[in-house]
Amino acid sequence: MATAVFAAVPVAVAQPACENKVSPPPPVDASEEPAPGEQPPRPLEVPESPIGGERLGECGLVLPPNAPALPDGITAKSWLLADLDSGAVLAGLDPHGRQRPASVIKVLLAMVVAKELAPNATVAATPEDIAQECTCVGLRNGAEYTVEQMLQALVMASGNDVAHALARRLGGVPSAIRKMNALAAELGALDTRAVTPSGLDAPGTSTSAYDVALIFREAMKYPDFVKAVVTQRIDFPAANGSGTVPIVNDNRLLTTYQGALGGKSGFTDDAQHTYVGAAARNGKRLVVVLLRGQPQPVRIIDQAARLLDYGFSLETAASANPVGRLVEGAPQAKKKTTEPRPTPTSAGVGEVANTEPDATAQKATAMQTAFGNVGGPITAVAGLGLVLAFVMYLRNRRAKAARAARAARAAATNQPNT
């Protein structure tokens, strides 16, 4: 059906109702029930204009003009293809539709870790880490691990115990969640709200295919993350304290898809199957995201491979006419317009003058207001005073001259001076 309808169609087709514009679909179990006495979080605000371009707000297929037929077997309810370098969005399905991330949210956690923690810093495991709902790597209570070891285990084996331990190292789980969400907002991933560091379902969890691509693209700028995501195997300290155990990267495309650059998969009952990954071919690097997919009749990683092939087949034409863009940061809020203020003259050559209304500037403004508004009348009065003083000066000189003349005449005639 998709092939018949969307092959080589240059115009937008009728869009279905955007069921997930505001929130992911209802949960299938009790994992997102709020704690007793608590209310579920409100859905995230939907931006007035879709981030990355108007077409990305469509909730059906979003394809460039004259796009070839889609591959068969794509089950994801939301997916996206984009150029990892230019940020051009090549194609997608419900790009901003809100879904659950499952473990692909660990990419966001890994980025916060790479930003804040040194690779040789250590993390001691606790019983709380070990008690996390697994998938788990297998930590030993009290054992110390380097951040590098934990970051690799987080990305390669999707350890929920490791995610919890790293979150504690970031100042505690609530602090780590705040940092993850702050970073998502900073990047422009406004459909995303992390509620757990691991991606386990919880009330309010949300993301989108667009956001996952945006986050993965940014994460690929961090060498520590890139090292972890492309590593196929490491030796990790054994949980029993004796020797090491192998951890193998669970991203099967890393060894089966030519040019694979790494990726991350996830699954929960509510999120279903999720995946984000990238690959390179002929000098081009693409990122693919699939959310809420089913592994039948085609495995999710094979669906990702088919979409990557599709993306490379249309990459040149679509890059020249993309359906949208991965933004380089959140759109800035509109600033309130104010009356222009003169630039302070205290700035030196080549310096930017400080235009903030500090105490000194406020005093100067007050002085200017007090005297600038009445400066004209004061100047006029002062000028009139000077004229009157000059007139009085001339009158005094004339009076003195007249008295002197009378005195001279009186002396000449011996008459008194009257």
Phi, then psi, of 412 in degrees rounded to 5: -70, -30
184: closest CA among 44, 316, 353, 281? 44
Omega cis (within 30) before 297: yes
Query: Do 205 and 196 touch, CB atoms closer than 8 A?
Result: yes
Name, in order, each residue with C-beta under 8 angstroms of 142's C-beta and a sequence gap of 6 or more.
124, 125
Query: Do 240 and 164 touch, CB atoms closer than 8 A?
Result: no
The helix (H) or strand (E) run that includes residue 153 is helix 147-157
Within a 13 Å sphere around the CA of 297, how many CA atoms are in the beta-carbon half?
3
The runs of H, that is alpha helices, within 7-126 are 106-116
Query: Do 203 and 40 touch, CB atoms closer than 8 A?
Result: yes
- Residues with a catalytic annotation lie at 103, 106, 158
In the chain, the N- to C-terminal Cα span, in Å, equals 128
Chain centroid to CA 312: how far? 27
CB atoms within 10 A of CB 332: 6
- Residue 222: Cβ-neighbour burial (10 angstroms; 0-12, 13-18, 19+): middle
